Amino acid sequence: MHTILTTSIQRASNFIQKNEIVAFPTETVYGLGANAFNGDAVKKIFVAKGRPADNPLIVHIGEIGQLPSVVSKIPPFAEKLMIEFFPGPLTLVLSKSKKISTAATAGLNTVGVRIPKHQIAQKFLKECGVPVAAPSANISGKPSPTTWQAVNHDLNGKISCILKGNPSRVGVESTVVDCTGSAPIILRAGGVTLEQLRRIIPSTRIGKKNYQDAVKSPGVKYRHYSPLAYVFIVNGSEETVPMKSSAYIGMQRIGRKNFGLTKICRDQNEYARSLFHFFRECDRKGIQTIYCEQVSEDGIGLAVMDRIRNAAVQ
């Protein structure tokens, strides 16, 4: 298959309408989209990514008016979260409407729904005119793509089109919040922080990654975000072995410069924005060991440490 690279929203949305699959930018990471009403279109995503069929996709819309075609029930606390955080890096899991393909939800009767804040994403989704099911646009198990070049590296020849945009501003995925119970439960930490959610709904809690939650959010049971290198979590440069074949990312400035690659981040936001890109750079340079500095798990640090821990699982 020839993959078309374009900046034309019209051209990209035409593929969605023809039930083909298209990668597009969002503020979190790039997504790989298909018409969420059409099971055959959605199945192409699973094939291109090599994604297990029991891992549901997030359904994206460009404006709140499209919500009734995606979800069937919205509890008051979920509505409050929408008012505060839509559009943005937040996905709410709600009862699904009948129109959404069961291929998109992996047979669940719930659906994750998100309105990205990214300008191009919003225009693209409005132009598509249908809800767009989209996981991150990477080969399953690899770090999520934060540039169109990373998408192209993983999926060229496997998808119809890449809508090119700027590098993703947030750099980690959306926060996934289960809203099917009596209070919000965070299934995956992400761009909207626990502290932000609690300011609106104080009873928000973090789901334990036990068996039940693993079933509730099937994505968390798979290995994720992994570069080719071994990933180690360290508490400062003393715990590292600087070599040409090793790399370091963190916020603490390190004295020694003999790593193959280093990235010093100004704050946790920059750490989040840089992490997946850094993993991919390391792969390109043949780095074998990546040291990631541990950061405090407040704010976006919770999502950063979640991704690093996942990448460090061998």
Interacting residue ranges for ligand TXA, rule: CB under 6 A: 26, 28-29, 31, 55-58, 91, 93, 105, 108, 110-112, 114, 134-136, 173-174, 176, 187-188, 216-220
The site partner of 260 among ligand TXA, Mg ion, none (C-beta below 5 to 8 Å per kind) is: none
The site partner of 75 among Mg ion, ligand TXA, none (C-beta below 5 to 8 Å per kind) is: none
240 lies in the binding site for Mg ion (CB under 5 A): no
Minimum separation from the CB atom of position 235 to ligand TXA (A): 28
CA distance 256 to 253: 9
Q: Which is nearer to ligand TXA, 51 or 293 (CB)?
A: 51
Minimum separation from the CB atom of position 138 to ligand TXA (A): 8
Q: Which is nearer to Mg ion, 174 or 240 (CB)?
A: 174
Q: Which is nearer to ligand TXA, 112 or 143 (CB)?
A: 112
Part in contact with Mg ion (CB under 5 A); list of ranges 3-11, 68-76, 91-99, 129-137: 129-137
Q: Looking at 35, 66, 91, 136, which residue binds Mg ion (CB under 5 A)?
A: 136
- The residue type of 30 is Y
Tokens of 163: 């809508």
Q: Which is nearer to ligand TXA, 206 or 234 (CB)?
A: 206
Which residue's CB atom is positioned nearest to Mg ion?
136
Cβ atoms of 222 and 311 closer than 8 Å: no
Cβ atoms of 4 and 163 closer than 8 Å: no
**173-189 as b/e, with b when 16 or more CB fall inside 10 Å?**
bbbbbbbbeeebbbbbb
For binding to Mg ion (CB under 5 A), which residues are involved?
135-136
